[in-house]
Chain A
Amino acid sequence: MKKIWWKVLCIVLLLYVAIMGFMGPVPHLPILNESIRNTYFHVALWLAMTTLLFSSMVYSLMYLRSGKLQHDDIASELAKAGLFYGILGCLTGSVWANFTWGDPWPNDPKLNGAAVGILIYLAYMLLRSSFEDEQRRARIASVYNVFAFAVFVPLIYILPRLTDSLHPGSGGNSTFGSYDMNNDLRKVFYPAIIGWILLGLWTAELRVRIKRINRFREEELAGDRKTL
């Protein structure tokens, strides 16, 4: 209960995004029209996902340096939250693409990269579940996590830049890059990013706490059995 302010901030920001995102004024661009509102959800979710996965990698590195299980717990839960956001990002993108491009899953390098990224982190979860011993699992999963993130970044951010993409901002589509990102959009877009990141951290934090409680209870049960 000591640090409640950022949870309040998260709720307020997301409420603001939900209200202003649907009601606020937006610029009218060709092709995009009103569907530009998806920037607040789809694009912001992707950015939040990258942040979560990046911090997951940082915690994995910290685990490798320190060997404390808590760090690995945090890393795995952050990765799970990131994975969840990745799936949400795909879904919001699909809904949007269905209206704008007329196809929920067109053959686009960014989409395929995202799908492969999700596969990478599903493989990470599979790797985690195939070990019994906690320390061993933590060490090997951390190594994979760092390795995976290093491949994930070129996959998502560098390779699509080399080819034309259907996404706004490349291949001659109207963009919300430097010119068209006007102040109306910015006023909601930046709070949206922060709000989504905070929500992700919050879910991860709750899950880490559940994990800790479970571990504590198991140890206590094991202790009881020993005394009996």
Chain B
Amino acid sequence: MNEIRTLIRKEFTLEWRQKYALSGMLLYVVSTVFICYLSFNLRRNQLTPIVWNTLFWIITLFSAVNAIAKSFSQERFGRLIYYYNLCSPQAIIVSKIIYNSLVMLFLSGTGFIFYAFVMGNQVGDLGLYTICIALASIGFSSVLTLVAGIASKADNSATLMAVLSFPIILPMLLMTIRLAKNAMDGLDWSVSYDEMITLLSIDLIVITLSYLLFPYLWRS
């Protein structure tokens, strides 16, 4: 536990020292939202709730892929070997997942506030939508962390990252969009229990698998 805490603190310190990475991601989200806003500007009335919801999740997905892709490649090779000597691979993957989840929560939260501000808020049940954002952020970041680890071993990692992660993340994305739609319509929470449980269990499966598989990846 101590190891994990230190590693997470290290990630935050690193991020804080090179502020351009996080602020770059924030700017990425904000400018994407703004591009969508301007593109739909001509026909505001055609922005149905379904389009509104889907657009938000696609923006979130792309910013997640971009934000997490760098989580292994930003550090130099020598430093990775240094970590390899110091701590267990499990501690590394858990700390990376927790850190990336926090970053994603921050990014998608800010993204949502800005999106709702610009495109008009159409959400009926904000509480459920927040839960949905939280579940999705954790799920996206845990899938993408392992895939980023895989892709960073290859040469053309940017393409590989997208190709490997999109089909894997799709079940999660579909469930999220459905849950988010329920939240937008302000349906009773009992209607969405199915989706919430499925999403939670996919999250759990993915996190356990990352925990079990990462040591093999780390060794190479």
Q: Which residues of A contact B (CB under 8 A)?
A: 64, 116-117, 119-120, 123, 126-127, 130-131, 135-136, 139-140, 142-144, 146-148, 150-151, 154-155, 158-159, 162
- Interface check B14, CB cutoff 8 A: no
- Interface check B219, CB cutoff 8 A: yes
Q: Is the CB of B163 within 8 A of A126?
A: yes
Q: Is the CB of A130 within 8 A of B154?
A: yes
Q: Which residues of B contact A (CB under 8 A)?
A: 146, 150, 153-156, 160, 163-164, 166-168, 170-171, 174-175, 194-195, 198, 202, 205-206, 209-210, 213, 216-217, 219-220
CA distance A114 to B220 in the complex (A): 32
Out of A116, A119, A158, name the residue touching B198 (CB < 8 Å).
Answer: A158
Q: Is the CB of B168 within 8 A of A147?
A: yes
Out of B160, B166, B216, B220, name the residue touching A130 (CB < 8 Å).
Answer: B160
Q: Is the CB of B167 within 8 A of A139?
A: no
Q: Closest CB-CB distance, B24 to chain A, in whole Å?
A: 27
Contacts of A64 in B (CB 8 A): 213, 216
Contacts of A120 in B (CB 8 A): 167-168
CA distance A57 to B85 in the complex (A): 30
Q: List 8 A-B contacts (CB under 8 A).
A: A116-B167, A120-B167, A130-B156, A140-B154, A147-B168, A151-B202, A154-B205, A162-B195
Q: Is the CB of B164 within 8 A of A155?
A: no
Given A123-B163, A127-B164, A139-B219, A144 contacting B171 (CB threshold 8 A): no
Q: Is the CB of A126 within 8 A of B160?
A: yes
Contacts of B220 in A (CB 8 A): 135-136, 139-140
Contacts of B175 in A (CB 8 A): 159
Q: Is the CB of B168 within 8 A of A143?
A: no
Q: Is the CB of A123 within 8 A of B216?
A: no
CA distance A128 to B153 in the complex (A): 12
Given A123-B164, A127-B150, A127-B154, A150 contacting B209 (CB threshold 8 A): yes
Contacts of B205 in A (CB 8 A): 150, 154
Out of A116, A139, A151, name the residue touching B216 (CB < 8 Å).
Answer: A139
Q: Is the CB of B167 within 8 A of A154?
A: no
CA distance A150 to B172 in the complex (A): 13
Q: Is the CB of A139 within 8 A of B198?
A: no
Residue of A whose beta carbon sits closest to that of B213: A143
Q: Is the CB of B216 within 8 A of A142?
A: yes
Residue of A whose beta carbon sits closest to that of B154: A130
Q: Is the CB of A146 within 8 A of B171?
A: no
